[in-house]
Amino acid sequence: MIHHIALIGHELERTRAFYVDKLGFEVMAQHQRADKGDIKLDLAKGSIHLEIFIKPAAPQRLTFPVGEATGLRHLAFKVEDVVQTAMELKKLGIETEPIRKDTFTGEKMTFFFDPDGLPLEIHE
């Protein structure tokens, strides 16, 4: 069982608006960490817990078309209906890639991106 997933973002308000206001995560805590020069934002939605560290000086994420780096490739959320969820995201101003079928399972899936370019997937 996973305890939490840690991400790095650049801007507190933009990141908070995306994960809380649009994706529906609840803020559990927010801590200014002067010794680390960042802000730690603890979020939860159901059994998913995210720690988002706001570090304005963190390097940009390597992503397509430039290439990928070692580490977290993407974060995938299981949903009941990818088409419906994609429509809900669009209403919130979040564009998704075209819906496609997983090569191996045949289940519907698509990707969208957080404010810092982290690929997020919805998958049936």
Q: Give strand pairing partners of 50.
A: 5, 43
Beta carbons of 70 and 114 less than 8 angstroms apart? no
Q: Compute the radius of gyration of the chain from its Cα atoms.
A: 15
CB under 8 Å to 56, separation ≥6 — which residues?
10, 11
Question: Which runs of E-coded beta strand occur in 34-87?
Answer: 38-45, 48-54, 75-78
What confidence tens digit (pLDDT) does each residue in 19-40 have? 999 999 999 999 999 999 999 9
Structural domains in the chain plus CATH codes: 1-57 (3.10.180.10), 72-124 (3.10.180.10)
DSSP for residue 98: P
Query: What pTM, to 2 d.p., does this model score?
Result: 0.89
Q: How far apart are CA 77 and CA 97, in angstroms?
A: 15
Cis before 56? omega within 30: no
The Cα-based distances of 67 to 87, 109, 117 in angstroms read 29, 21, 13
What confidence tens digit (pLDDT) does each residue in 68-120 have? 777 888 999 999 999 999 999 999 999 999 999 999 999 999 999 999 989 99
